[in-house]
Structures are given as C-alpha cells and as structure tokens.
Chains A and B, each alone.
Chain A
Amino acid sequence: MTSVTTSAPPRKTRRAKAPPERREWTGLAFVLPFLAVFVFAIVAPLFYAVYLSFFQDRLVGGSFFAGFANYAQALTDPLLHVGLGRVLLFFAVQVPIMLGLGLFAALAIDSGRLRAKGAFRITLFLPYAVPSVVAALMWGYMYGNEFGLIRQIGDAIGVATPDLLSASWVLVAIGNIVTWSFVGYNMLILYSSLRSIPTELYEAAEIDGAGAIRTAFSIKLPALRPALLLTTIFSVIGSFQLFNEPNVLRALAPTTISSYFTPNMYAYNLAFNGQQYNYSAAVAIIVGAVTVVVAALAQRLSRAGEK
C-alpha cells in the first residue's frame, strides 16, 4: 500500500492540471438510450401529470388554472378516503399472508428435503405467468354464486358456501386471487436470496450443532431481511395499485365493487368516464405520495428492527 501512495503524487498533480473539458464523457453515450426513454416515458409524463393537476377542464367553460383546488378537493373527498382505507386494510391482511406463504415455500425448497423441488418451484411460480386480467376472470367464474365451481363443490359435499362476491367477502376473494398470483413470485425472490448465503455459514452452524430449525432462524431469516424488505415494498405498491382484479370482478358484482373501490379505480373512472382528467391527476399524485410514505415507513421499520 505504501509503495502505491509514494508513486502516486506525480500522476495526481498531472491530473489536477488537466483542463476540465478533458473529463471522460464517453460513458454518457452508453447511458443516453436509457436516459432518453426514461425521460420521455417516465419523467415527462410525471411532470405532465403534475402540470395537469393544477388545472380544471369543464364540459361547459373549458380549461382554466385552478391552483391547489383539485388537491384540496381530493384531500377531503370521502370516496378517495374509502378507497385508501380499503387498500390499507387489504395490505395489512393480505400481504403478511402472501409473504408468509412465499417465505415458507422458499425455506421448504431450500431445505433440500423436498422431492422434485424443481417441479414444485415452477408450479408455484406458474400463476405469476397468468395475466392478472385472465386470473381474475378465471377466479370470477369459480366464485359465481349460482354456477361457480366453489358453490357447486360446496353443494356436492353439503357445505353452505358464502356468496364470495358479496360485500363482506369480496375483499377476501380478491386477496385470494392476488395471493395465488404472487406467492410464487415472492418465493422466487426469497429463494434466490437464500441461495446466495455462503455455504461456510451452514458448515459453521453444523459444527456448532445447530439443527435445521435453528439454522433457519439464526442464519436464513437474518440473511433474508433485505429480500423481505424488497418484497414488502413491492407489495405496498401492488396493494395501493390494486386495479385489475376488482375491475374485472365488477362485471359480476356491479354494486358490491363500486367505481371508487380502490384509489386507482377511482382515478380511472374520474378520467375516463367523468372526463375529469385534472382531478384524476391530483388523485393519482396523492395516492402516489401515500404509497411513497407507506413504503418509506416499511423501510424505516425494517431498519429499526435490524439494530
């Protein structure tokens, strides 16, 4: 190390004297394609949405600058509050179940005690490959109160099944679809994280006399913390973005699933059925901000747990 530092000074001075224009810009050329797409597809629409949210456009009277009026309206909009409350509840109940199942599956596959673990892994992951609209349609058929598969099985074995598309069950029904779709996805993230734990740790644990359960709690789970945080944040986003599943099921349950069932559905219906693009933009920005806050909270909590 010392030899390096002693030989360095002359080069250092030469570099310091070099004019600033000679900085290397070739790297930029490599990033440019990405930056261009990023700016046009993500940054520009974002700013455009913010811009839109400061206007109002009426069917009679046209467009005018409205300042923060859209935001003031959205913050006190009971329909938006109901939607946000619903996705929060959904997040609080569905996400722990989904991540718990994903974690259990990842640990089971990683334990090496499963036969045909490749087949198990791919089967669990397969639902993720089904587009969410198709998944919702498929489950919708099964949920149907009159001719749905679940009701028919219930009838066959003499069990009274509830109406899964009624107000008290529909959130559970949606949670089931989302869990079915995403357990495998989360399992894969957690499993790949498990695979990257150095084998020395396991060997050391074995030498220390730790069993499978002890290894899981003392080595695997701590090592999984970052991956768990990642899946949690994805799930926060997923919950607040809930749209496809309720929107598809709405055809079957037009009154239990309202047009403002989730914040995203509300924003969609405001924009596309009500022509209230500007108000919709404000609603979307508020929902985005809430999502960021919840995601940040999740991160903060996880970091606090680490210490």
Chain B
Amino acid sequence: MRITRARGAAVTAAALTLTLTLAACSGGSDGGSSDGGGGGDVTAADIDAALDAEGTTTLQYWSWVPNLQPTVDLWNEAHPNIQVELTNAGQSADQYTKLQNAIKAGSGAPDLAQIEYFALPQFALGESLVSLDDVGLSDLESDFTASAWEQVAAGDGHYAFPQDTGPMVMFYRADILERLGVEAPTTWDEFLTVARAIKADNPENFIASIDPGDAGGVDSLIWQAEGRPFSVEGTDVNISFGDEGTQKFAELWDTLISEQLVDVAGGWNDAFWRSLDSGRYAMWMTGAWAPGSLETNIPSTAGSWKAATMPVWEAGTPANAENGGSGTAVLAKSENKAAALAFARWLSTDSEAVQAQVDAGLFPSTSSIMADTDFLGATSDFFGGQAVNEVFVQASKDVSSGWQYLPFQVYANSVFGDTAGQAFSNATPIADGLTAWQDQITTYGNGQGFKVTND
C-alpha cells in the first residue's frame, strides 16, 4: 500500500517535467533576423507582373479582423492566379507570439500578417518585414491619411500598408447629458465639470472608466495631450514621462480618480458592457472603430449614443491621437513577395476593397474615402441618425504628429499593469506610477541591447 521510493521519485520527476514543458515550448534561439529583411530584390514592376503571372500562387495571410473573409473573397474571385488563404492565428499579442516564433523557427510564417501599429517597430527592427520604400512603393504615401502613413514608419522605412486607423473619439450617452442639462464637453476643463455633475446626480455613476491594465488607452491620452514619452532612433531609445504633455494628463487624471469621477476598472468584460448599458458610465473615449462593438454588445442602448471629437486641452486648438489600428505587413522571408505585396496594396488602396472593409466595421486609412460624400453623409441609427463619419474624419484630421512606439512596446504594454496601473488602482500619483513603468522598461531595453536614456 505505501508508495515506494521509486514511485515517489517518479512523481517528483513528473513535477519537474510539467514545469519545464512550459519553457521548452517557447521555441528556438536561432537568429532569424540574420538575413532577409528589406526585400530589395522586388521592384514595383515585379508586383505588377505578379498580377498577370501564369500558374497559381497561394498566399497565407494572418489576420483577426472580424468579417474580413468577404473582402478576401473579392480578391480571390478577381485573381485566380493569386489565391489568398485567410487564417485567424489569434488576437494581437497571441498572434505576435506565434509570428515571432515562426520567424525565429524559419518556417511556418505566413506571407502576410496583420500587425497593429504599436507592434510594428518590433518586427521592423528584426528585419522580418518588407519595407515599402525598398520595393518602390513609397509613393503610396499620398493614398493614406498622414497619421496612418506615419504609424507604419519605423527607422528609415515604412513596413506595412495601413489597413485601418482608430482616431480617438468621445462616444457619449446623449440621453444622460440631456437629463442633467449639460452639453457634451469640448475641453478637458468642461469634461471635469460634467464629470462632477454626473457624480453629484448619483454617486454610483461615473463619467467614464479607465482600464489600469491597458497601456494603449493611456498612451493615446498622453499622445492627445501632446506628450511624447518615447523616441527612437535606430537602437537609441529615449523614455521619459517627464514632459509637459504627460504631466498635464497625469494631473487631470489624478483629480478624476481621487474625486472618484472615473471608475478604475478593466474594459471589455461583462461588467464594462453592463455599466455602459445601465448608464453607470456615460462615455467611452476610444478609437473610431468602436461603433461595431457598441452595437453588438449593448444593442438596447441604440439611439441614445452620440459621437464627438475628443475634449481638447486648449479651446480652439484641435489635437487628437490614434488608438489602435493596424497595417498589413509582408514578411521578408515570404517566397511570394511580389504577389503578397500586390494583394496587400489592393487591400489597402482599392476603393472596392476599402469599402468592403468599412462595411465590415473598420475605420479606413485612405485619404480618398475620407473625402467621399457617401461615406461622410452615411447616418447611423445607433447614434440617433447622426452622420458619425463626419466626426470620425475630423478626429482623424486632428491627429497630431510625432508619436513613436518603442521597438519593444509589446513587452512594455505587458508590464503596464504591474507598474503604472498600480497608481490608477491605488489612487497614488500617476506620475510616480509612470516613473515605475519607465524604470522597468528602461532596464528591459538595456538588457535587450538597446541604448536607453531617460532625458
């Protein structure tokens, strides 16, 4: 009946193996970045030639954009010689992990992948992506909004075709503001006043929530306040949250949190949607891609919503930021670069393709559709008949330039909750939290071989 020593040893050995399996599945250390990159062997002429090439090329395309298949079908019908297979390899960080592993392993990577703007510098740095400038596509600049084109830039190249953008927009419950007899705020001062009015009306309610685990949301608010904490030049990186814009943001949100005018809580979960549904939150400040999510998650509030441009710091001086959005990148290791580039260019610039993606819920990145009267005039019942695209296009035009993401932003975002997020949750000074974040990502960056300064 008693466990023998051998069996006991076997159990303890099993304990060790179970733990180590995790480490083992993490993949190789082979430097996949040693060759490839750039993609200078392909020219614009090759891309056009690929469209008419004989035989059939099959492209692997990773994306998690919802309802993208109909757009891909449009391409496949029109181009029997270049067939695109769409795979959802996971959302955001999950997909980047797989992509990074496939690139390291040297096999299994797709020809094209959706990459969010914040993660693009990391893949560009590893020379894993084709630079559009190297293949003679830099003249595409005029096809895209200024902020979209700026966001696919890393170092001296542009590493993706902008697919969608997310200019920050203030979505608000018009019914709640109307009941309280207040106007939608246009400046952050007014925002504070409205927030206090909402609290005075019912102490259980908040003007909005802030997610202490979401670095992207906070980055956007800092960007919108003209803060520029990250700057990158090659492998020289500067991280400093001490600038004026960041401090303005930190002080305002310190006040909002200490007076409990905003709820510090995670987003995208059951409680979040219920709060927007019940009116516990009166606003959601996020990217222009949000209407689809609102309509799906809280259909019962249809008609009560309105969209407006973000509150600004100085009345009459529009300033905005982007939140989310991604581009389509061609992998440097792809064997069908010309065909992949042809498809990606079509996906981002062809008016039929762009319209199909807009219909699927994306907010576009091309300048032509932003001037399209049908697009601008489209009204939305969910927003009480408002022509919301007019607001979104204005929001897109207002985006201020010069924001940069770190070449290790994926890691930086993953430790935001451990550091800066603590200040939001514990109502301690946000500036201190941001300093803790700065310290941790500085250490990481230096450990990864970057030269990180905090000037």
Contacts and interface: CB of A to CB of B under 8 A. Distances in A.
A40 B34 CA distance: 29
B393 to A, nearest CB: 33
B3 A230 contact: yes
A124 B169 CA distance: 50
Interface string B9-45: 0011111111111111111011101100000000000
B447 A58 contact: yes
B410 interface: yes
A59 B29 contact: no
Nearest to A41: B21
A233 B29 contact: no
Nearest to B407: A59
B169 to A, nearest CB: 23
Contacts of A48: 24
A119 B306 CA distance: 55
Given A251-B266, A255-B425, A288-B16, A147 B271 contact: yes
Nearest to B418: A258
Contact of A52 (B29, B269, B271, B280): B29
Contacts of B100: 275
Contacts of B214: 254
A141 interface: yes
A55 B29 CA distance: 8
Nearest to A281: B23
A268 interface: yes
Interface string A251-267: 11111101110001001
A266 B443 CA distance: 17
B424 interface: yes
A267 to B, nearest CB: 6
B417 A255 contact: yes
Interface string B264-282: 0110111100110000100
B417 A259 contact: yes
B444 interface: yes
B26 A288 contact: no
B216 interface: no
B24 A254 contact: no
A281 B26 contact: yes
Contact of A271 (B2, B23, B410): B23
A260 B271 CA distance: 25
B126 interface: yes
A95 B225 CA distance: 50
B235 interface: yes
A146 B12 CA distance: 43
B415 interface: yes
A196 to B, nearest CB: 8
A223 interface: yes
A21 B26 CA distance: 43
A45 interface: yes
B34 A62 contact: yes
Interface in A233-264: 233-234, 236-237, 240-241, 250-256, 258-260, 264
16 contacts: A61-B449, A225-B1, A226-B3, A233-B8, A240-B19, A250-B213, A251-B268, A254-B211, A254-B421, A255-B417, A255-B422, A267-B22, A281-B24, A291-B19, A299-B3, A299-B12
Interface of A: 42, 45-46, 48-49, 52-53, 55, 57-63, 141, 144-148, 193, 196, 223, 225-226, 229-230, 233-234, 236-237, 240-241, 250-256, 258-260, 264, 267-269, 271-275, 277-278, 280-281, 283-285, 287-289, 291-292, 295-296, 299, 306
Given A225-B1, A255-B418, A275-B448, 19 more contacts: A49-B24, A58-B448, A58-B449, A59-B448, A59-B450, A60-B125, A141-B270, A144-B271, A147-B271, A193-B1, A223-B1, A229-B3, A234-B11, A251-B266, A252-B269, A254-B214, A288-B19, A292-B13, A299-B8
